[in-house]
Copies of this chain bind each other. A is one copy, B any other.
């Protein structure tokens, strides 16, 4: 049970291809509510659809507004993405924190919020920022901080998805589980015998034990499946040619 996903509010966007790319990114990450404030080339824009690559439903449902305040109607918490702070007193938060606050508001009160994104070339103006409760600052390379509009939306939309995600952080896929211990042990014993027969171990005291510890370590840690252990036994058998047998040209 989550609150509504945040609205994406594009303020005076310039390029239809960017609006389309924004719609695609929104749909990729589960956002649906696209709001446009005075798009430069009007609306609808024929360049947006192809760039949306199948996310046309989001473009079709987009609403157009005359100003930022109108576009925020119905929302309860609004962040403005910005690179520079104008002389307004505002909290500046990371995307992670902004999304966590939007998510918490949805969970606790069922209320939705939104995020403002400025025009491609200039970003948001002070008057736009003043409407928002706080500023969301995407961390970037200080020497090269200007993000593409759609890529700024990707970061925020990905954060939304990341913070709701239920997929495990780390999962082994197509894995039938570790082999029965006795099968792994049989591989290790077989290897030990064949290596001993081929004089792999030097004669010093404890050398065999040390070498076998290394081999046991590297063969045990991967949690090989029964099938993989069987494959390794086959490989060992095929590779193994007894010392002194035909083809043994080892010189030592």
Contacts and interface: CB of A to CB of B under 8 A. Distances in A.
A92 interface: yes
Contacts of A94: 162, 165, 167, 169-170
Nearest to A223: B89
A27 B173 contact: no
A89 B174 contact: yes
- Chain multiplicity (copies): 2
A115 to B, nearest CB: 15
Interface in A138-167: 138-141, 144-148, 150-151, 154-155, 158, 161-162, 165, 167
Nearest to A137: B167
Contacts of A167: 94, 137, 139
A157 B51 CA distance: 22
Contacts of A171: 91-93
A135 B175 CA distance: 14
A30 to B, nearest CB: 5
A169 B155 CA distance: 15
Interface residues of A, number: 51
A199 B70 CA distance: 35
B141 A29 contact: yes
B169 A29 contact: no
A161 B174 contact: no
A55 interface: yes
A139 B146 CA distance: 25
A85 to B, nearest CB: 5
28 contacts: A21-B151, A24-B148, A24-B151, A25-B148, A27-B141, A28-B140, A29-B141, A55-B144, A85-B173, A85-B174, A87-B174, A89-B172, A89-B174, A89-B225, A89-B228, A91-B173, A92-B170, A94-B165, A96-B162, A96-B169, A137-B167, A139-B161, A139-B162, A141-B161, A150-B151, A151-B154, A154-B155, A154-B158
Given A28-B144, A29-B140, A97-B169, 12 more contacts: A27-B144, A28-B146, A28-B147, A54-B146, A89-B175, A93-B171, A94-B162, A94-B167, A95-B162, A139-B162, A155-B155, A155-B158
Interface of A: 21, 24-25, 27-30, 53-55, 85, 87-97, 135, 137-141, 144-148, 150-151, 154-155, 158, 161-162, 165, 167, 169-175, 225, 228
